[in-house]
Amino acid sequence: MKKLAYIDALRGLAILGVVMVHTNQYGHLNLPWGIEKIVWKGGRGVQLFFLASAFTLFLSYGNRLAKETRPVRNFFIRRYFRIAPMYYLGVLYYLFQDGFGPRYWLGDEPGITGVNVLSNFLFVNGFNPYWFSSIVHGGWSIAVEMLFYALVPFLFSRMKNPRQVLVFFGLSLGIRLGLQLLFETYPLIAHAKLWEEYLSLYFPAQLPVFALGILLYFVVRDEPALLRRVSGKWLLLASVVLLALLVNGDRLALPNFVSLILPDHVLFGVAFFLLALGLSRYPWPLLVNPVTTHLGKISFSLYLVHFGVLYWLERFNLTDYFYNATLDYGLRLVLVLLLGGLLSTAFYHFVEVPGQRLGSRLIKRLERKEVVAV
């Protein structure tokens, strides 16, 4: 829907940030520190994905709830066929690219096992640090997303207004903190660095960001009177100021106990909440335009593809072009976006869309059988 173009634009900004940070991991020159800080925080684009996802999932589930006889079953079918075709292709490709040998995400395990591969096909790899992201580059975020999918029907049935979502947000912060303290004291694997990274990325750590996306859904849907009193431009300004402080101020120089409760990625989630709310009121053309909305539409494919593009650029010694680090990085980023964008547009039309249509046909067939049975 055209009125939700800002959601596609948010996804476009999210994937741009993710591509920015990964592109900076290649090449031999170091960016100036000021630019480096901005690029490094591009990784928080994943949290923007999570927020936008929670919003759209609640929106689509709510719109279909009264129209379908089996909305929960249909929801899971749609989600599976939305993610699985392209993700399975990613599993096969990255096994081809990287093989089955040791790597960082395997920790002290010697190589990829059949159970690891199976866990990715079943989308349960998020429960094991060694399986979390060891096959598909960036696969941890898809694992987290799939776990959230599993909770959406339950959460939708329990939360009816912004106040309840705020309670859930607070509860999710408490769950994250409690598990963080517990698992830091009693780690479940010997690889300390991998365990630390797993705890910063796994589902309980990201749950507060999903809660903010659910809050966005209720505020946009149910609070038009409140939104009319607040200028979208002021909301955008507030989000930009907060993002600038987070990039440059290292968590706004908050006391340690506050940072423990509200870690960096959650504070970015708050900034993204303000950004999304502002764009819902004022779709600023600088951020909501054909480029960002197209990037948003192909963002899932581009997320999976851009790692491969960077790999092949390095294989062919095409990651360095200038002696100036900024120009060098800029051209590398443009190449990744162009090549990755072309590939991802093709994958979107020939893999993602047909997969979604297949899911829709399956739902219609099941519904017809139920009507005949009745």
Q: How confident is the model over 135-185, as pLDDT tens digits?
A: 999 999 999 999 999 999 999 999 999 999 999 999 999 999 999 999 999
Q: Residue 283 above 90 pLDDT?
A: yes
Tokens matching residue 124: 């349960």
Which pLDDT does position 250 carry in this prediction? 60
Mean pLDDT confidence for 73-101: 97
pLDDT tops 80 at residue 253: no
Does position 198 have pLDDT exceeding 70, yes or no? yes
263 pLDDT band (50/70/90 cuts)? Answer: very high
CB-CB contact of 137 with 307 (8 Å): yes
% of residues, the chain, pLDDT over 70: 95
Question: Which pair of structure tokens corresponds to residue 67?
Answer: 């129209």
The pairs formed by 352-357 with CB atoms below 8 angstroms and a separation of 24 or more are 352/82, 352/85, 352/86, 352/300, 352/301, 354/85, 355/81, 355/82, 355/84, 355/85, 355/86, 356/78, 356/81, 356/82
Please give the single-letter amino acid code of residue 298: I
End-to-end alpha-carbon separation of the chain, Å? Answer: 35
Q: State if pTM tops 0.85.
A: yes
- Taking alpha carbons only, the member of 63, 38, 55 closest to residue 277 is 55
- For residue 97, which amino acid is it? Q
Among 351, 332, 296, smallest CA distance to 90 is for 351
Contacts of 109 (CB under 8 A, 6+ apart): 102, 130
Structure tokens of 56?
């759209």
Asked if residue 331 has pLDDT above 70, the reply is yes
Predicted confidence band of residue 258 (pLDDT cuts 50, 70, 90): confident
Please state, in angstroms and rounded to a whole number, the distance separating the CA atoms of residues 71 and 68. Answer: 5
Q: What pLDDT, in 10s, does the model give residues 36-67?
A: 999 999 999 999 999 999 999 999 999 999 88
Counting every residue written for the chain, the total comes to: 374
Q: What mean pLDDT do residues 287-311 have? A: 98
Ranges 252-266, 296-310, 317-331: which has the least confidence: 252-266
Query: Which residues does 347 contact at the CB level (< 8 Å), separation at least 6?
Result: 86, 89, 298, 301, 305
Residue 260: the pLDDT is 87
Scanning the structure block, which residue is given the tokens 């599976």? Answer: 80
1 confidence band (pLDDT: 50, 70, 90): very low
> What is the predicted pLDDT for the residue at 230?
79
The amino acid at residue 54 is: A
Give the position of tokens 């598990």.
179
Query: Average pLDDT of the chain?
Result: 94
pLDDT band of residue 100 (cuts 50, 70, 90) is very high
DSSP 127: G
Residue type present at position 147: L
**pLDDT at 251 (0 to 100):** 53
Residue with tokens 């009507």: 371
* pLDDT computed for residue 367 by the predictor: 86
Q: Residue 33: pLDDT above 60?
A: yes
| Residue at 65: amino acid letter | L
Scanning the chain, the segments in alpha helix (DSSP H) are: 5-23, 33-40, 45-65, 71-98, 114-121, 139-158, 162-185, 192-201, 203-222, 224-228, 232-248, 256-261, 264-281, 290-297, 299-315, 325-347, 353-373
DSSP codes, 8-36? HHHHHHHHHHHHHHHHTTSSS-PPPHHHH
**Mean pLDDT over residues 288-301, rounded?**
98
Average pLDDT of the segment spanning 211-236: 85
**Per-residue pLDDT tens over the stretch 339-367:** 999 999 999 999 999 999 999 999 999 98
For residues 185 and 169, what is the distance between their CA atoms, to the nearest angstrom? 25
Nearest to 266 by CA among 213, 303, 218, 194: 213
> How many CB atoms sit inside 10 A of residue 278's CB?
24
Percent residues over pLDDT 90 in the chain: 87
Q: How far apart are CA 159 and CA 58, in angstroms?
A: 11
